[in-house]
Amino acid sequence: MRESELHELFATCKSVLTSWTTRLRAQLGENFPEKVTAFHPEMPVHGKFQQPCPVCEAEIQRVRYAENEMNYCPRCQTGGKLLADRSMSRLLREDWPKTAEELEGE
């Protein structure tokens, strides 16, 4: 990754985190939430496995590792590439689809 790409990635991450921190502080005020979760209903793809992406309508995918989960849109966020879910990709090996189109059978 080039230095300019790293700076852009850093700026984007900082912007998104600042935006969400401001939004959540405005919603919660001084009240700490009783139920803490990584997923928030206003987030575009987080916690929305198998639902359509709000931008391109591709099916939201997930990668699970141990007790952790990451959701993403294969078209918008990875250029159509499916990220390998360790357990499923090991099970399917060469049959593991490499793109969203292969997964959808297109």
How many residues comprise the chain?
106
| pLDDT for 52 | 92
The verdict on residue 36 lying in a domain is no
Q: Domain limits at 101?
A: 44-106
Q: What is the pTM of this model?
A: 0.55
Give per-residue pLDDT as tens, 3-49.
888 888 888 889 988 888 888 788 877 776 666 566 677 777 878 88
Instruction: Tell me what the mean pLDDT of segment 62-74 comes to.
Output: 83
Distance, CA of 59 to CA of 95 (rounded, Å) = 19
- Considering its fold, how many domains does the chain have in total? 2
User: Band of the pLDDT at 51, cuts 50, 70, 90?
Assistant: very high
- 81 with 55, same domain: the answer is yes
The verdict on residue 34 lying in a domain is no
The verdict on residue 95 lying in a domain is yes
- 106 with 78, same domain: the answer is yes
CA-to-CA separations, 100 to 9, 20, 22, 50, 62, in angstroms, rounded: 24, 29, 34, 12, 12
The verdict on residue 22 lying in a domain is yes
